[in-house]
């Protein structure tokens, strides 16, 4: 008998179940949501545009977890997710702000949009490299810089303020441009930012967390703009707290 070459056992699957396609479907739905936000912002429907970007953020948080839960992680899925993040969080949010109130200040406003988009794509590129070489949360459960979904929600603060507190609370155009660039900078900075992935609760505190979460959803539905403003300031406070906490930990060590 002659020796036969071993039969490869890792052949690509000829068929995929519908459940295995759910993560990529969620990612594509997020892309459609982000691109649609640009359309509605250009048409003057800013509230719907902000809602669609928020929806894209929720879908972005679901697709990766769904892929891990269903065991359908793939290289194409990871690349698709990264490209979706750039569209949804690097392009759509600053454009929504631009169409909403910076067209009269178009030169500086467009420059701020470009700076934010470039910062976001650099942030995503760095994250992709880090995720292949090390755990992005290996520094005590903190991200390096603001994640792109959080940056997308922060950069729309100039929209939230007048919707929540009236026209008198609107940022001047020049200040809004500086703010957009600032958010882009903290995305690519080395500032540590708190990660929800590292948070855990004891059994006795789960009930309290669920009650708090229910109240948060109720506030988001009843007072969406004010709640988004509070979330932005709370997140900014968490960044300051993370910097101070990390410095104290380094001094102790």
Beta bridge partners of 139: 142
pLDDT tens for each residue of the chain, 253 residues long: 444 555 555 555 556 666 667 788 888 999 999 999 999 999 999 999 999 999 999 888 887 777 777 676 667 777 788 889 999 999 999 999 999 988 888 789 999 999 999 999 999 888 878 776 665 555 556 778 899 999 999 999 999 999 999 988 889 999 999 999 999 999 998 888 877 766 676 778 888 888 988 999 999 999 999 999 999 999 998 888 878 877 776 676 6
What is the per-residue pLDDT for 1? 44
End-to-end CA gap in the chain: 66
Please answer whether residues 121 and 86 qualify as being in contact, where contact means their C-beta atoms are separated by less than 8 angstroms.
Answer: yes
Give backbone dihedrals phi and psi of 251, rounded to 5 degrees, phi first.
-65, -40
Ramachandran area for residue 12 (φ above 0: left; ψ -120 to 50: alpha; else beta): beta
What is the per-residue pLDDT for 54? 93
What is the per-residue pLDDT for 19? 65
What is the per-residue pLDDT for 2? 47
Cα–Cα dist 131/162, whole Å: 38
What is the per-residue pLDDT for 197? 67
Cα–Cα dist 152/135, whole Å: 23
Question: Domains of the chain, with CATH numbers?
Answer: 18-252 (1.20.120.1760)
């Amino acid at each position: 008998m002659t020796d036969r070459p071993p039969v490869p056992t890792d052949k690509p699957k000829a068929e995929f179940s519908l459940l295995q396609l759910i993560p990529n479907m969620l990612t594509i739905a997020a892309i459609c949501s982000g691109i649609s936000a640009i359309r509605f912002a250009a048409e003057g429907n800013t509230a719907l545009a902000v809602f669609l970007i928020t929806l894209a953020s929720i879908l972005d948080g679901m697709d990766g977890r769904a892929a891990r839960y269903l065991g359908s992680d793939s290289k194409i899925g990871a690349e698709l997710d990264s490209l979706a993040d750039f569209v949804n969080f690097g392009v759509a949010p600053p454009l929504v702000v631009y169409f909403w109130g910076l067209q009269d200040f178009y030169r500086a406003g467009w420059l701020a949009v470009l700076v934010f988009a470039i910062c976001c794509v650099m942030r995503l590129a760095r994250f992709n490299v880090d995720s292949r070489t090390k755990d992005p949360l290996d520094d005590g459960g903190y991200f390096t810089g603001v994640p792109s979904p959080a940056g997308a929600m922060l950069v729309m603060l100039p929209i939230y303020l007048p919707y929540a507190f009236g026209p008198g609370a609107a940022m001047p155009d020049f200040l809004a441009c500086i703010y957009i660039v600032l958010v882009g900078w903290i995305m690519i900075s080395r500032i540590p930012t708190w990660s929800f992935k590292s948070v855990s609760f004891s059994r006795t505190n789960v009930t309290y967390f669920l009650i708090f979460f229910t109240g948060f959803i109720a506030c988001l539905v009843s007072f969406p703009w004010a709640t988004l403003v509070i979330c932005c300031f709370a997140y900014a406070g968490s960044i300051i707290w993370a910097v101070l906490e990390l410095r104290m930990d380094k001094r102790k060590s």
